[in-house]
Amino acid sequence: MTREGCAIVTGAARGIGAATARRLAGGGWPVLVNFRSDGEGAEEVVAAIEADGGRSLAAQADVTEPGEVEALFARAESELGPVMVLVNNAGMRVDGLTPQLDAEAWDSVLETNLSAAFHTTRRALRPMLRARFGRIVNVASVVGPRANAGQANYAASKAGLIGMTKTVAVEVARRGITVNAVAPGLVETRLTEGVGNGLADSIPARRAGTPEEVAACVGFLTSDEAAYVTGSVLTVDGGLSA
């Protein structure tokens, strides 16, 4: 089914972002695949979408920079239509115990994981408010509400993202716009390399999740069936935080 407007997925060159871009395209959305540095990966995602009959394009932008966010949305609007779905997936981690974290490690993680989502959300709401429709999904983490030693910056960014999700959801609910978050646990991506270290043994499901399993949850939250779901956090962690 062809949709009116398009979707933007940030940090979509690989992992959860790439799986989400493919999932949204499979649901009929033209998808802009955003990347910061992995252009080759982004083009592979676009090629996979087009091979399945979807419409997509890759676009480089550092979403921590408001000017680049504006250019990203302008390109999407010019080539694919108004942005009706936004998935804030771009993220990074720089781990270390709090006494060892320097200001750069703190700032870079907060800017990428939280401030970037604010910049893109603020920009996305313009056409959504006019259309009285929109879907925003933020990729948070179980580390947001749950302590994980060595990740004070990452946890703060994801907890902040959850707080922003709930607040924006309340602000725009009467305009037909939903704002939700997914909170993955241990998922097999490049971002989680080195994090496992026996963690799977403490997960009730006894395994890591896959990007496709998280993308399926994002797909639901962007669907027509989820029109009454907003301000929610959907945990995807195999029972880890149960």
pLDDT of residue 51: 98
Distance CA 183, CA 1 (A): 28
pLDDT of residue 144: 87
Active site residue 228: no
**Ranges of residues in the chain whose predicted pLDDT is under 50:** none
Q: Among the options 111, 154, 160, 234, which is catalytic? A: 154
* The length of the chain, given as a count of residues: 242
pLDDT of residue 40: 98
Residue ranges and CATH numbers for the domains of the chain are 6-236 (3.40.50.720)
pLDDT of residue 1: 58
| Paired tokens of 2 | 């062809």
pLDDT of residue 223: 97
Nearest to 85 by CA among 31, 42, 162: 31
Distance CA 215, CA 192 (A): 16
pLDDT of residue 106: 96
pTM: 0.94
| Paired tokens of 7 | 């979707």
